Amino acid sequence: GAGVSQSPSNKVTEKGKDVELRCDPISGHTALYWYRQSLGQGLEFLIYFQGNSAPDKSGLPSDRFSAERTGGSVSTLTIQRTQQEDSAVYLCASTQDRVLQYFGPGTRLTVT
Amino acid sequence: SQQGEEDPQALSIQEGENATMNCSYKTSINNLQWYRQNSGRGLVHLILIRSNEREKHSGRLRVTLDTSKKSSSLLITASRAADTASYFCATDGEETSGSRLTFGEGTQLTVNP
């Protein structure tokens, strides 16, 4: 079946603009995660959704970052008033069993 | 604090040789996983080892886990040029919620043909 998809694959934006990144998880996966990866670094946890429970937002770096998951499926990560330090690859993952996470190809965000 | 730390940061070998990468972590874990990443994009799950396991094999991959030393190693035998990628360990800590993974900074492996 289809894997996790993310869009856009690349996004270039000017400092101060808002951006929306989209994640389509694997159908039926109840948990969804967002991670951020800066150049040459490991992945940094951002936010976690599990079913209808309140999301774990403990990894969001500032109040400019927010995310939602509609209907328990598609998720959108929004970054308001982007800064140059927001430039990174944003990765989404979904899982059925909360153990094995399946990752999307990521969105490379460049803030100029 | 950084949970997982891999070493070496970069490894360059010839095709056919074995590659060993190490990972250390700080807190108690439920399991440890190894992922592979090509060209800075999506990660592919390679292997998972649970905290009560000491060794696991999958094809040319062998993973060991020493919970007393809080360390793991990934061995790729008979390497191929196509194994060139970044390899990350990720831990699922007992204290973290929702099984979120904590990643190390990765080892960049280059296999020269």
| pLDDT per position as a tens digit, B53-90 | 999 999 999 999 999 999 999 999 999 999 999 999 99
Nearest to A106 among B42, B45, B104 (CB): B42
B93 interface with A at CB cutoff 8 Å:
no
Residues of chain A with pLDDT under 50: none
Q: How much is the pLDDT for B2?
A: 36
Residue A78 in contact with residue A22, Cβ under 8 Å?
Answer: no
Q: Do B40 and A99 touch (CB under 8 A)?
A: no
| Most A CBs within 10 Å, among B25, B36, B41, B87, to test the A interface | B41
Q: Is the pLDDT of residue B11 over 80?
A: yes
Name the 3-class secondary structure at A70: helix
For residue B92, what pLDDT is reported? 84
pLDDT at B93 over 90: no
| The pLDDT value given to residue B95 | 58
Is A25 in the B-facing interface, judged by CB distances under 8 Å? no
Q: What is the pLDDT of residue B40?
A: 64
Q: How far is B79 from chain A (nearest CA, A)?
A: 23
**Once rounded to an integer, what is the mean pLDDT over residues B20-45?**
89
CA distances to A19, A55, A63, A89 from A33, rounded to whole Å, are: 18, 10, 18, 14
Q: Do A89 and B40 touch (CB under 8 A)?
A: yes
pLDDT reported for residue A72:
77
